[in-house]
Amino acid sequence: MSPSDSLSHAALAPQLSAAPVARSAASAVAATPIAIDIRKLALTYQTADGPVVALSEIDLSVRRGEFVSFIGPSGCGKTTLMRVIADLATPTAGEVAVNGVSPGAARLARAYGYVFQAPALYAWRNALRNVMLPLEIMGMPAAERRARAEKYLGMVGLAGFERKHPWQLSGGMQQRVSLARALAFEPDLLLMDEPFGALDEITRDHLNEQLLRLWQQTQKTVIFVTHSISEAVFLSGRIVVMSPRPGRILEIIESRLPAARGLDVRETPGFLEVAHRVRQALRAGHSYDD
Amino acid sequence: MTTDAVTIPALPRAFGVDLLTQRVVPVAAVVALILVAWYALAVWLNSPQVIERLGGAEGSWSTQELLRGCWSMERPVLPAPHQIAQDLYQSVFGTPIDSKRSLVFHAGVTVSATVLGFAFGAVLGILLAVGIVHLGVLDRSLLPWIIASQTVPILAIAPMIVVVLGNVGLSGLLPKAIISMYLCFFPVTIGMVKGLRSPDPLQLDLLRTYSASPAQVFWKLRWPAATAFLFASLKVAIAVSLVGAIVGELPTGAQAGLGARLLSGSYYGQTIQIWSALIMASLVGVALVYIVGGVERAVTRAQGGGR
Amino acid sequence: MRLRLADLLAPALMAAGLVAPIGSQGWTAPALGCAVAALAGAALSLRRWNRALEHGLSLLALFLGACAPLIVLQGPGPFGVEAPGLWLFLGGWTLLLWLRLEALARLPGRGVATLVAPALFGVAVLYLWQVLVVGFAVPQVLLPSPAQVGHVLATRMDILWPDFRQTFLKAVLAGFALGSALGFVVAVVADRIPFLKRGLLPLCNLLSAMPIVGIAPIMVMWFGFDWQSKAAVIVVVTFFPMLVNTLAGLASADAMQRDLMHCLAAGYAQTLAKLRLPTALPFIFNALKINSTLALISAIVAEFFGSPILGLGFRISTEVAKLNVDVVWAVIAIAALAGSMFYGLIAAVERACTFWHPSYRS
C-alpha cells in the first residue's frame, strides 16, 4: 500500500471502516511532507469604490496526497485563494509556500496543473493537440508528447476522440480534455476551480466518480473549489469552509468516508452527518443570509 | 517570518492623473517622435536641391544654412511641419472666407457634397436593409450583389459619372453627392442588416406571444436594437463619403473643393498647398465623425444607455 | 393550390403586351412564337405540379419570354414610348421573374444552391439593362449596353491586358503585400510595448479619417510616375486597417486562456505563437479582405493623378475624356472581376485557416 492510501485509512473513524487501521498511522501523517503552506495570508485589492478585502488571515496547511475542497458562497474568496497558490494573484500580506518555494518559483517549475471553470481549450487544436500543449511548451520531443497525451486522454475515458475538435465534443467531454491536459505533464499538485460547475448533474456525478478514481490512482495533491456541498463531501478528505467577504476560514471539517466509495455513499448516515456539519458551518458564517 | 496582516489604504485616484499617463503622454511621445522623424526626413529629401542652390558640393556652406534652407524652401519635396502649419493658418484665418484661396471655402464646398451624399446614402442604406431583412427575395438575390458592388471601384468611375452627368446638364454638387452616396450606402446597409437581425431570438419569440405585427416588431424591437450598429456604420459612412466627394472633384478640373485644391497643388508643384489641403481634409473628416459620435451619444442617452 | 393576384397578373400583363401596339413592325413571327410559348409556360407553371417541374417550366418561360423582346428590338425602331406593348410584356416578364426569385429564395440549400438566386438576378439585371438601353435608344455616351461593353472586352484586350498587368499585378499586389506586412509587424511591436500602443492608436484613428488617396501626387513626386508610386499609396492605405485589426486580434484571447499560459510558465514568444496569433487570425483576415478592395480602388484613383501611358485608372481617365464610355465600362468590369476574385481567394484561404471559428458553424 502506498503512503497516501495508508493515510486515508488512518483517517477513518473506527465505526465506518472494516479495513485494518495502520499501526503507524500517527507517524505516517507526521512524515508526509507539506505541499502547500499558507500563513496569515491577506489580499486586498483596489476598486473605484475603495479597497476590497478579498482574503483575510488565512492559515492552512495541505499535505502531499490530500484532497482538500474549498467551499463557500459566491465572492468568499475561494477562487482568489487558489489563484494566489497558482501565482495568478499576488497577496498583500502573509506567506505562501508551494512545495517549499514561492508560488512563482513553483509555477516556473511547473509544479501544478490548473483546471479552470470552463474548458479553455484551443478551438484550432484537436483534443490530442490540446493535451499536448503543455508538453510542447516544456519542449518535450514529439513522439513522447504524443504517447503521453494519448495515455492521459485514455485515462479520462476519451480514447478514440483524439482527432475531434472542441466544438465537436460535449461540455463534459471538453472538461475531461481540460483535465487530461492538466495531468499530462504529471505535476504533483492539481488546482481545480469549480471544474464541473457548468455541467448538468448527471454528467457531474459521473465525472466526480472518475476524478475520485483518478486521484486514488495517481495520489496527487488536489485543491478543489466548489459550490456544491455534496461534491465537496464526496470527493475530499478535508473541507475548508469559507465565509463571505472578507474571506476567512470558518472551519475545516474532516470527512472520513471509505476509500472505495461510489455515488451511493451519499445516502449513508456518515455522509449526511458531514454534509450537515458543512451546512451548519456555512449558516453560522452567514452564507445563507439575505 | 510572519508578517501582520495589513490593509493597504486606498490611493486617491485622481481622474486627471489617469488621463495624463494613459492617454496624453503616450500620444504626445509618439507625436514628438513623428515630428523629429519628419524634420529629419525633410532634410534628407530636400537637401539635394538646397545644396545645389548653396553652391554645390564644392561651395562653402554651414550645416545651419543647410538646415535652414531645407526647412524653408518654397517648393520643397517634403515641407517641414511648421511650413504646413503656417500655410494652414494663413489659408484658414488669414484669407476671407469667400475667397478662392481660403481653405475654409474649399472645405465648405466639399463638406456640402459630403453631407448631401451621406444623407442620400444613409437613407438608401436603411431602406435597403429594411427590405433585405423583411423580404427573403432581396436577401437571397440582392445581398450578394450588394457585397459584390463594393469590389466595383466606384472611385474609379467617378470621372465617368461626373463627365456623363455634366453632359446631361447636371454638374457641381449633385454628381459628387451621387458618388458619395454610392460609397456610403454599403456600410450602412451591411451594418443595419446586422443590427436589424441582432435581437435575441428569445425576444422575437416574446413578441410573437403578444401577436405583434411585423411593423410593431420593427419599431419596438428591431429598430432600437439596430441603433448601435447604425451609428457605427454612419461613422464609417461619413468618412468614406468625404473621400468620395474629394475624388469627385478630381476629374473635371473642378475649381472649388479640397480635391480641386489637391489637384491644382499637384499641377503647379505647390507641395505645401497639397499638404495643407490634406491636413484640412483629415481635420474635416475627424470633425464630421465626431459630430456623428455626438449624435450617437445623445441618442444612446435618450435610450437609457451610456455610462 | 392558391393563386395570388401576382400569379395571375404576370401572364395577364404579358398577354396585354401581345395585343398593344409595338412600334412599326409589330411582333414578328419568331418573336411572337417565343412570346406565346412563354405565356403558355407561365400559365402551366401555375398549376403546381411537382417542385422541379414548376421551377423548370417557369425558367423556360422566362428564357423564352426574354428572347421575344430581343428579337423585336432587332427590327427597325422606334421603340421607346411608341411601343407600350413591349413594355407591358416586359413588365409582366419582370413580375414573373420576381415570383420565381421568391420561390427560389425559399429553396433550402447550402453551397451551390445559394448561388442560383443571385445568379439569376444578375443575369436578369444585365438583360433588362440591354433591353432598356436599346429600347429607349439611350445615347451610348450616357450608358452603353452590355453588348457594347462585351464587344470592347472581346476586341480590345490588346490594351486592356497591359493595363491590368500594370495596375493589378504590379502595383496592387506589391502594395497590398508590403502594406499588410508592415501593419502586422508594427502591430506586434506595439503589442509588446503598451506605451507605444497607447500613443499610436489615437493617431491611427485620426489618420484613417484622412482621404489617403490625396497623398498620390506626393508619392508621384517621390517615386516617379510608374507603378512604384501607386504601390506606395497602397502601402499607406492598407497599413492602418491591418494595424488596427491585428492589435484588436492580439487582444482578443480571453483571460482564462492567457491565465492557462501563465500557469504553464510559457514565455512571451510561446504565448504569442501558440495562443494569441491563432486567436488574432480572424481579425487579420478581416483586415486582409478590407485591404483587398481598398488596394484596388487606391491604385486606380492614384493613377488619376499621373501615370505613364498604362494602367486601369489611366485608361479610365483618358477614355472618359474621349467619351468612349463603353471602354470605361469594360475597364470597370475588369476591375470588378479582379477585385471579386482577389476577395474570394482571400476568403477561401481564410476558411482554410480559421475553420475552427464559430462563424463557420450554423
- Rounded to the nearest angstrom, the minimum Cα separation between A22 and chain C is 38
Is C123's Cβ below 8 Å from some Cβ in B? Answer: no
pLDDT, residue A184, reads 92
The chain B residue lying nearest A93, using CA atoms, is B5
- Rounded to the nearest angstrom, the minimum Cα separation between A265 and chain C is 34
| pLDDT at A278 exceeding the cut of 90 | yes
* Residue C148 maps to a domain: no
- Rounded to the nearest angstrom, the minimum Cα separation between A33 and chain C is 23
* Residue C144 maps to a domain: no
pLDDT, residue C23, reads 67
Using alpha carbons only, what angle is made at residue A87 by residues A83 and A93, rounded to the nearest 5 degrees? 85
Please indicate, yes or no, whether residues C216 and C341 belong to a single structural domain of this protein: yes
Is C297's Cβ below 8 Å from some Cβ in B? Answer: yes
**Euclidean distance between CA atoms C99 and C117, whole angstroms:** 11
Q: Do A95 and B13 touch (CB under 8 A)?
A: no
pLDDT, residue A279, reads 93
Q: CATH code at C231?
A: 1.10.3720.10
Q: Do B156 and C293 touch (CB under 8 A)?
A: no
Is B9's Cβ below 8 Å from some Cβ in A? Answer: yes
The class (CATH top level) of A3-111+187-284 is alpha beta
pLDDT, residue A20, reads 45
pLDDT, residue C113, reads 67
**Euclidean distance between CA atoms C28 and B250, whole angstroms:** 49
Alpha carbon distances (Å) from C127 to C69, C91, C105, C135: 10, 13, 20, 12
| pLDDT at A12 exceeding the cut of 50 | no
Q: Do B156 and C300 touch (CB under 8 A)?
A: yes
**What own/partner pairs with CB < 8 Å and gap ≥ 24 does B60-67 have?**
B67/B43
pLDDT, residue B174, reads 84
pLDDT, residue A15, reads 41
- Rounded to the nearest angstrom, the minimum Cα separation between B152 and chain C is 4
Please indicate, yes or no, whether residues C116 and C257 belong to a single structural domain of this protein: no
More confident residue, A36 or C218: A36
Q: Do C332 and B278 touch (CB under 8 A)?
A: no
pLDDT, residue A27, reads 53
Are residues C323 and B163 in contact, defined by beta-carbon separation less than 8 angstroms?
A: yes
Confidence of residue C339 (pLDDT cuts 50, 70, 90): confident
Per-residue pLDDT of chain B (307 residues; tens, 9 = 90+): 333 333 344 445 555 566 677 778 888 888 898 899 988 888 888 888 888 777 776 767 777 878 887 888 878 888 888 888 888 888 888 888 777 778 888 899 899 999 999 999 999 999 999 998 888 778 877 877 877 777 666 776 777 777 777 777 777 788 888 888 888 888 898 888 888 888 888 888 889 899 889 888 888 888 888 888 888 889 888 888 988 888 888 766 667 888 888 888 877 878 888 888 888 888 898 899 889 989 988 988 888 765 4
Closest in B2, B6, B7 to A95, CB measured: B2
The chain A residue lying nearest C272, using CA atoms, is A137
With a pLDDT cut of 90, the percent of chain C lying above it is: 19
Range(s) of the domain holding residue C65:
5-138
Is A92's Cβ below 8 Å from some Cβ in B? Answer: yes
With a pLDDT cut of 70, the percent of chain C lying above it is: 96
| pLDDT at C45 exceeding the cut of 70 | yes
Please indicate, yes or no, whether residues C120 and C53 belong to a single structural domain of this protein: yes
Is C215's Cβ below 8 Å from some Cβ in B? Answer: yes
Please indicate, yes or no, whether residues C93 and C225 belong to a single structural domain of this protein: no
Task: Of A255-269, C48-62, C247-261, give the lowest mean pLDDT range.
Answer: C48-62
| pLDDT at A17 exceeding the cut of 60 | no
The chain C residue lying nearest A87, using CA atoms, is C263
Tell me what ipTM this predicted complex has.
Answer: 0.79
pLDDT, residue C227, reads 86
For chain A, the C-alpha Rg in angstroms (whole number) is 19
**What own/partner pairs with CB < 8 Å and gap ≥ 24 does A173-179 have?**
A174/A119, A174/A121, A175/A115, A175/A119, A175/A199, A175/A207, A176/A207, A176/A210, A177/A119, A177/A121, A177/A127, A177/A130, A177/A131, A177/A153, A178/A115, A178/A116, A178/A119, A178/A120, A178/A121, A179/A115, A179/A211, A179/A214
- Rounded to the nearest angstrom, the minimum Cα separation between C304 and chain B is 8
Mean pLDDT across chain C, nearest whole number? 84
DSSP at B77: S
A11: helix, strand or coil = coil
Alpha carbon distances (Å) from C228 to B209, B268, C208, C252: 63, 22, 22, 35
Confidence of residue A236 (pLDDT cuts 50, 70, 90): very high
Residues C95-148 have pLDDT tens digits of: 888 888 887 777 776 666 677 778 888 888 888 888 888 888 888 777 888 888
Chains touching chain C through at least 3 C-beta pairs below 8 angstroms are A, B
3-state secondary structure B223-270: HHHHHHHHHHHHHHHHHHHHHHHHHHCCCCCCCCCHHHHHHHHHHCCC
Give residue C250's Cα distance to chain centre.
Answer: 31
Is A34's Cβ below 8 Å from some Cβ in C? Answer: no
* Residue C149 maps to a domain: no
Is C126's Cβ below 8 Å from some Cβ in B? Answer: no
pLDDT, residue B4, reads 35
> Cell triple for residue B66?
543647410
The chain C residue lying nearest A191, using CA atoms, is C263
**Euclidean distance between CA atoms A71 and A249, whole angstroms:** 10
Chain A residues inside the 8 Å CB shell of B307: none
Alpha carbon distances (Å) from C98 to C3, C92, C102, C106, C124: 15, 10, 6, 13, 10
Q: Do B278 and C211 touch (CB under 8 A)?
A: yes
Closest in B2, B5, B11 to A46, CB measured: B11
* Residue C185 maps to a domain: yes
Q: Average pLDDT for residues C341-358, to the nearest whole number?
A: 88
Q: Average pLDDT for residues C209-218, to the nearest whole number?
A: 76
Mean pLDDT across chain A, nearest whole number? 86
CB pairs under 8 A between B and C: 171
pLDDT, residue A239, reads 95
Closest in C256, C259, C264 to A134, CB measured: C264
Work out the angle between the directed axes of helices B271-302 and B258-267 (0-180°, nearest 10). Answer: 160
pLDDT, residue C214, reads 75
Is C277's Cβ below 8 Å from some Cβ in A? Answer: no
**Euclidean distance between CA atoms B99 and B88, whole angstroms:** 15
Q: Do B281 and C208 touch (CB under 8 A)?
A: no
Is B7's Cβ below 8 Å from some Cβ in A? Answer: yes
**Euclidean distance between CA atoms B257 and C109, whole angstroms:** 50
Are residues C203 and B31 in contact, defined by beta-carbon separation less than 8 angstroms?
A: yes
The chain A residue lying nearest C276, using CA atoms, is A122
How many structural domains comprise chain C?
2
Closest in A46, A57, A93 to B10, CB measured: A46
Q: Where are the domains of chain B?
A: 16-78, 103-302
Q: Average pLDDT for residues A83-87, to the nearest whole number?
A: 92
Are residues B49 and B73 in contact, defined by beta-carbon separation less than 8 angstroms?
A: yes
Are residues A90 and A103 in contact, defined by beta-carbon separation less than 8 angstroms?
A: no
- Rounded to the nearest angstrom, the minimum Cα separation between A60 and chain C is 22
Order of strands, sheet of A238-242, starting from the edge strand that comes earlier in the sequence: A112-115, A189-193, A221-226, A67-71, A238-242, A249-254
| pLDDT at C278 exceeding the cut of 90 | yes
**Euclidean distance between CA atoms A271 and A123, whole angstroms:** 40
> Cell triple for residue C81?
414610348
Is A167's Cβ below 8 Å from some Cβ in C? Answer: yes
- Suggest the residue from C263, C268, C276, C362 to mutate for an interface test with chain A (most A CBs closer than 10 A): C263
Q: Do A42 and B6 touch (CB under 8 A)?
A: yes
Residues C57-109 have pLDDT tens digits of: 888 888 888 888 888 787 776 777 777 778 888 888 888 888 888 877 777 76
Exposed, middle or buried by CB within 10 Å (0-12, 13-18, 19+), for B175? Answer: buried
Domain at B103-302: CATH code:
1.10.3720.10
